[in-house]
């Protein structure tokens, strides 16, 4: 964590784009994620995806 504040911030923004805009105004590099609810937001599919992800690890 010692690097925090020493190295320039480089941000991934997942969600409200207003936050990315405010960072860009401060000359901070931002990658905006085009986020959509995973598995189309269907809880049972999401659960299956999470189980598959656990199996991958």
Which of 26, 44, 54, 55 forms a contact with other proteins (CB under 8 A)? 26
Q: Which residues are bridge partners to 31 per DSSP?
A: 12
> Do 4 and 11 meet the contact criterion of CB atoms below 8 Å apart?
no
Contact flag: residue 44 with other proteins (CB under 8 A):
no
Looking up tokens 């020493």 gives 6
The verdict on 38 binding other proteins (CB under 8 A) reads yes
CA pair distance 32, 44, nearest whole angstrom = 27
Query: Cβ of residue 37: shortest distance to other proteins, in angstroms?
Result: 4
Chain residues that interact with other proteins, rule: CB under 8 A: 1-7, 9-16, 18-20, 22-23, 25-26, 28-29, 31-38, 40-43, 50
């Amino acid at each position: 964590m010692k690097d925090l504040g020493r190295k320039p911030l480089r941000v991934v923004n997942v969600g409200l784009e207003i936050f990315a805009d405010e960072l860009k105004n401060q000359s901070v590099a931002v990658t905006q994620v085009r986020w959509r609810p995973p598995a189309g937001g269907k809880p049972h599919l999401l659960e299956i995806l999470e189980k598959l992800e656990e199996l991958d690890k």
